Each structure stands twice: as structure tokens, then as C-alpha cells.
Amino acid sequence: MEIESIPSFFIIGVQKSATSSIHSILSQDTRISLPYRKETHFFSTHFKKGISWYLKMFNNNTFNLRGEVDPSYSHYPEAFVNLNKCLKKSKFIIIFRKPIDRAYSHYLMSKSRGYEKYSFNEALKLENERLSDNVNFSYSHHSYLLRSSYGEQIIRYKRVFPNSEFLFLKYDDFIDINNRLRFLKQIYKFLDITFNLL
């Protein structure tokens, strides 16, 4: 296994918290190697494809840092198990959004993709029933409240990666134009790389 090529940092969530925008911003920095598409889902659902498949997703081989932005890693229990097989410590960044706002944004995404036929209130009432069917589709697309249970996700990662570093940020700081620069500088400081996106 090409352990030395595994990313040294992961932005693991949460879903619907500007992770696509952040991936796009970091992709502009040639010192940072990211997968050419956000969310490979390698550690969550594609681990059996092998590390060589995963490393082919990265867009450059000359870099100071290699990382990945994939919110599925905070949600799927398999993700931290598979990550732990490849590394014992890393840097993890988690961006929090108000749980009900995140859940509703998730719902709108599922609705727009044709994955949701119920109203938001109905979908929330049906969530446990849908998830109890143990169908991966519902686990991904109908897990509105479950994905917003941040405490369980943090405890899980802290337990499995006790020697890792964690940075917790707020989605509201990113969408506030007056705070966005400070938000990005926090990421760069955490990654120990000079901020020069201006």
C-alpha cells in the first residue's frame, strides 16, 4: 500500500456546509494536491477498489500537501475504519452548520435530484423507518437528521484517532463575506502552509 501518498489532511464534513466551495478554492493552490473531482468516496464506499484507484484521482504529483474534501467520511461508519487501516493520525477539518438548516438543504438536494417525494416534515417523520431498511440509497439521500448528529461523528473520530489534530469551523463564518478570509486563513494555519490566495 502506498501509504506515503495518502493525504495528510481531510475535510470530512459536514455535507451541505460549503465543502464544494472550499474544495474549489483549495484546488487553485498548486501546493495542494486534491482529487480532480470532489468526493471520491474511497474510504466510505469504494475502498475495495484499492489504493491505486484512489491515488489516480489526484490532479498533480508535485505538491506540499495532499488532502481530500469528502463529507461522506463523517457520516459512513466504514470511513473511519478504512482510514484507520491506512493511517494512524491525520489532520481533520469539520465545518458545522445549524443542524436543521443542514438537514433542509440536504432535503432540497435530494428533492431536486428526484430522490425525494415527500414533504420535508413527512421525510423527517419517515427517516428512521427508511434507514432501518438498511438500504444504502436511503442512508445516503434520506439521512437528514442522522447526518446532522455531529456529536456522534466527533466522538467516533476522536476515539479512533486520538493522536490526530482537529479543526472545527462554522459554515456561517464562510458565507459571511466579512469573515470568509479569516475562515480560510484558519484552514491554512491549521495545515501549516502560508496563506497566499490573494
Per-residue pLDDT of the chain (198 residues; tens, 9 = 90+): 455 689 999 999 899 999 999 999 999 999 999 999 889 999 999 999 999 999 999 977 778 899 999 999 999 989 999 999 999 899 999 999 999 999 999 999 999 999 999 999 999 999 999 988 766 788 889 999 988 999 989 999 999 999 999 999 999 999 999 999 999 999 999 999 999 865
What pLDDT score does 2 carry? 56
Quote the distance between the C-alpha of residue 150 and its chain's center: 12
What pLDDT score does 110 carry? 95
Q: Could you count the other beta carbons within 10 Å of the beta carbon of residue 39? A: 17
Sign of CA dihedral 95, 187, 44, 18: positive
Please name the residue that has the C-alpha cell 459536514.
14
For the chain, report the end-to-end CA distance as a whole number of angstroms. 37
HSE-CB for 56 with a 13 A CA cutoff: 5
Please name the residue that has the C-alpha cell 491554512.
188
Whole-angstrom distance, CA of residue 103 vs CA of residue 137: 16
What pLDDT score does 1 carry? 40
